[in-house]
Chain A
Amino acid sequence: MCLAVPGRVLSISEVDGTLMAQVDFGGIRKDVCLEYVPDVASGEYVIVHVGFAIQRLDEASAIETLANFERLGILDQEFGDQTGAER
């Protein structure tokens, strides 16, 4: 249900009293309504669904999540498989 993708806010402006932003999706540019994430700054990332930013993307969290994936299995290798499960 919810095809939403992360994009970087390039510029912010008011159009007809509505907060809008030009958002960059790796080269694709689209105008996005920022009313629901009004405190986001230029250069930050937002999650965009049907032309609306619905949440700020937490970059630190994204990086940490990927780092966790990298670390997966390392403890198991050092200390052996904790659950005793058969692979």
Chain B
Amino acid sequence: MKYLDEFSDPELARKLVDQIHAVTTRPWAMMEVCGGQTHSIIRHGIDQLLPAGVEMIHGPGCPVCVTPLEIIDKALAIAARPGVIFCSFGDMLRVPGSSRDLFAVKSAGGDVRVVYSPLDALKIARENPDRQVVFFGIGFETTAPANAMTVYQARRFGVANFSLLVSHVLVPPAIAAIMESPRCRVQAFLAAGHVCSVMGTAEYPPLAEKYGVPIVVTGFEPLDILEGIRQTVVQLESGRHELQNAYPRAVRAEGNLAAMAMLRDVFEVTDRTWRGIGMIPRSGWRLSERYRDFDAELRFDVADLHTEESALCRSGEVLQGLLKPNECAAFGKQCTPRNPLGATMVSSEGACAAYYAYRRLDLVQIS
């Protein structure tokens, strides 16, 4: 694919790796916020190529991992209702709620469908006027515009049988929460490239300043990640803490104005509980007053749900970068991708799943 494959070039990767080694004189710990970046790092073995002291701490940038348990349980309750067609991105189907997942609901007769885009769910709603069609609207700021447009269209075309179960989370408040944590070891951030494609970069300089951390907007292909790391190390080595954009082909400082206008209309900021972490104030979006009648949480009576997280699961500490997956007692034993206790093991972006899947084989030498 053009403008994608070139950014995996192994020769250029080698140059970037050499540069990182050349400029590193001390140990540094940086966090990549985005789950897609975690996936890419571990899948390509990028962390293995870095200088010994440069550590990647995996952040909570996996919307699947951090979707509150309560919302998952509400999704499961709604999906199990007769007459409901429950549409979702593929990632969410195996996330465990308090006692089961969407696959189990499907198995019990629920009409659960995977779609690529929320507009597909709207199409299903128009084709099935006698059924209630609900779309599970999770994601960071990247996905919010798609969900917003879908609800906007639903209103515009009077698709009354459509509703959205919203659980959007925001990156900048998460960065602040991580830096406020007393055990925080993070010295710099690789900001999520596609979040910034939408939101621009304006929210980050104040964070860089307040916490004294370099923040480098980074893409997802191997060269993008290596360049993001390189720029970060250069800043750390020279004692700077600024915002830099290492993904200029897809990110402009002002972001996408049309998308941001729609987001302001359709959503409003709310407090949000991040699974495994806790409540981060003003870190989520919910439907605004104007669109509240499309809110699935209100349309279906799912207010009283008892939620209980596994006592063994330490996803929260993993999500905050305080624990490496293989340091958790349950990792690989009670908790595996096959039987996940927490969301970090379910999502392909979750740090635990990434470690489990691509687990380091320092013993193996492939010639």
Contact = CB atoms under 8 A, between A and B. Distances in A.
Q: Tell whether any CB of A sits under 8 Å from a CB of B in the complex.
A: yes
Given A16-B157, A51-B119, A36 B258 contact: yes
Interface residues of B, number: 59
A83 B153 CA distance: 56
Contacts of B197: 4, 47, 54-55
B237 A83 contact: yes
Interface string B241-256: 0000000111110001
B36 A51 contact: no
A57 interface: yes
Interface in B4-25: 4, 6-7, 9, 12, 15-16, 18-19, 21-25
B192 interface: yes
Contact of A49 (B7, B23, B61, B143): B143
Contact of A1 (B62, B120, B248, B262): B62
B227 interface: yes
Given A55-B198, A69-B223, A85-B25, A62 B249 contact: yes
Given A2-B194, A50-B146, A83-B23, A58 B248 contact: yes
Contacts, number: 149
Contacts of A49: 142-143, 146, 194
Contact of A73 (B15, B142, B194): B15
A2 B259 CA distance: 16
A7 B4 CA distance: 9
Contacts of B22: 73, 76, 81, 83, 85, 87
Given A35-B258, A83-B25, A51 B116 contact: yes
Given A55-B256, A85-B25, A2 B195 contact: yes
Interface in A1-30: 1-8, 16-18, 25-26
Contacts of B192: 1-2
Contacts of A76: 22
B145 interface: yes
B165 to A, nearest CB: 16
Interface string B205-242: 00000000000000010010001000000000100000
B223 A59 contact: no
Contacts of A61: 248-249
B143 A2 contact: yes
Contacts of B252: 55
A52 B12 contact: no
B194 A1 contact: yes
Contacts of A85: 21-25
Contacts of B223: 66, 69
Interface string B18-58: 11011111000000001110000000000000000000000
A43 interface: no
A1 B249 contact: no
Given A1-B36, A83-B237, A47 B194 contact: yes
A57 B258 contact: no
A19 B112 CA distance: 29
Nearest to A58: B249
Given A1-B35, A76-B22, A50 B12 contact: no
A85 B251 CA distance: 32
Nearest to B152: A35
Given A45-B3, A81-B22, A36 B249 contact: no
B117 interface: yes
Given A1-B349, A37-B256, A51-B118, 9 more contacts: A3-B36, A18-B153, A33-B149, A50-B117, A51-B120, A55-B250, A65-B249, A76-B22, A87-B18
Interface of A: 1-8, 16-18, 25-26, 33, 35-38, 45, 47, 49-52, 54-55, 57-59, 61-62, 65-66, 69-70, 72-73, 76, 81, 83, 85-87
- Shortest beta-carbon contacts, A-B, top 10: A51-B117, A2-B194, A2-B142, A55-B197, A26-B1, A62-B249, A61-B249, A6-B3, A69-B12, A52-B146
18 contacts: A1-B34, A2-B140, A2-B143, A2-B194, A5-B4, A6-B250, A7-B1, A33-B119, A50-B89, A54-B142, A55-B250, A58-B248, A58-B249, A62-B6, A65-B248, A83-B22, A83-B25, A87-B18
